[in-house]
Structure 1
Amino acid sequence: MPEVRLVGPNGEQVGIVPVGDALRLAQEADLDLVEVAPTARPPVAKLMDYGKFKYESAVKAREARKNQTNTIIKEIKLRPKIDPHDYETKKGHVVRFLKGGDKVKVTIMFRGREQSRPELGFRLLRRLAEDIQELGQVESQAKQDGRNMVMVIGPHKRRAEHKAEARAAAEAAKARDGHEQPGASAE
């Protein structure tokens, strides 16, 4: 007769019991018999309220999704013979994206004879990486991709973490302020 390692409703070990006895115990306690570790030898089953278990696991999954950061990749396009002022403007965009916690894909577009001078693109991307090194680091080095050269820059981890912490603090403050007593004044 197949057996299971039975765990009680409060997490206490009952021991190895036949499946029939486990089902009878579950019925007596008005609970469900849920298999929690099917690959174990013998399989592990627990006495619990299955509806409550499903609800709690859904809540945990929702919390995990809420706490994960959503990374967005922004793209900036440059030309090898970019004007110094235009370069500063584009660099400002890259800085803004990195401060916002987003990754930046920098693309240099080559046209005509410029394709025979890829070193201009490498030099420009290296210069950009040096200019923004306090905000982010190069995640994928510059590489030629047909007529384009592409490099990905990501924000430093601590900056992204600070952004997430600041957002959480702002939401907590908003929730706290929203639940104050109406008419109560701080004198």
Structure 2
Amino acid sequence: MSEPRINDRIRVPEVRLVGPKGEQIGVVSVNRALRLAREAGLDLVEVAPRSKPPVAKLMDYGKFKYEAAQKAREARRNQTNAQLKEIRFRLKIDSHDYETKKGHVIRFLKAGDKVKVMIMFRGREQSRPEFGYRLLMKLADELKEYATIEFKPRQDGRNMTMVLAPTRTKAEIRAEAERARREAERAEADAEQAD
């Protein structure tokens, strides 16, 4: 968005003026609006240049720009950057290997990422896809506190895939970690004061 015109850059004969607390002052000449802005120690900022007459507001422009930059930074920080992680299973997987891979899936889900679980079929295994389906549904059932099934298991050539989505978003996980960090710092500061 382009910078709004402020103070002497406003080149229209009159504006609809809004006060610093949002109150409507009315349609006034630009000279009178500038005089009111100087008396209040504020800036005259054109907030709606396309309306007839343009709308201008009395405000502290530096503070306005700072707050807008803070909001934009906060929005970027809270943006979710969920990735799609992939983990592969074999149909004849050993129980220890299964538990290890399940642990990886849990770690990905706790971090807020989606997980694509894939079972690869070889040779005669392709004729029995129901075994793969059962294995994927068993995994989904064991992980229901961490994830929901986004895409049910489906055969795709030699592979069967299923996508699991985390129950909590990355922004929620990040906010919870930040809250826990602040509480730990507060507890540490209280312990130091007690000594």
Cα 1:168/1:65, change in 2 over 3 Å: same
Tell me which residue corresponds to 1:171.
Answer: 181
- Is the 8 Å Cα contact of residues 88 and 117 (structure 2) preserved in structure 1? yes
Verify: 1:186 aligned to 2:190, yes or no: no
Amino acid at match of 1:73: L
Cα 1:146/1:52, change in 2 over 3 Å: farther
Unaligned runs of 5+ in 1: none
Verify: 1:93 aligned to 2:98, yes or no: no
- Is the 8 Å Cα contact of residues 140 and 153 (structure 1) preserved in structure 2? yes
- Is the 8 Å Cα contact of residues 81 and 170 (structure 2) preserved in structure 1? no
Cα 1:36/1:175, change in 2 over 3 Å: farther
- Is the 8 Å Cα contact of residues 80 and 170 (structure 2) preserved in structure 1? no
Amino acid at match of 2:98: Y
Tell me which residue corresponds to 1:16.
Answer: 27
Amino acid at match of 2:146: L
Tell me which residue corresponds to 1:143.
Answer: 154
Calculate the TM-score normalised by the size of structure 2. Answer: 0.70
Cα 1:40/1:120, change in 2 over 3 Å: farther
Q: Kindly, what percent of the aligned residue pairs are identical?
A: 63
Alignment counterpart, residue 135 of structure 2, candidates 101, 124, 139: 124
Alignment of 1:61-76 (within 5 A): 61-68=72-79, 70-76=81-87
- Is the 8 Å Cα contact of residues 95 and 132 (structure 1) preserved in structure 2? yes
Verify: 1:134 aligned to 2:145, yes or no: yes
Cα 1:166/1:31, change in 2 over 3 Å: closer
- Is the 8 Å Cα contact of residues 154 and 162 (structure 2) preserved in structure 1? yes
Q: Distance in 2 between matches of 1:53 and 1:178?
A: 36
**Length, aligned pairs only:** 184
- Is the 8 Å Cα contact of residues 69 and 164 (structure 1) preserved in structure 2? no
Tell me which residue corresponds to 1:50.
Answer: 61
- Is the 8 Å Cα contact of residues 37 and 44 (structure 2) preserved in structure 1? yes
Q: Distance in 2 between matches of 1:170 and 1:93?
A: 24
The CA RMSD over aligned residues, in Å, is 3.5
The alpha carbon displacement at 1:52 in A equals 1.9
Query: SS of the residue aligned with 2:194?
Result: coil
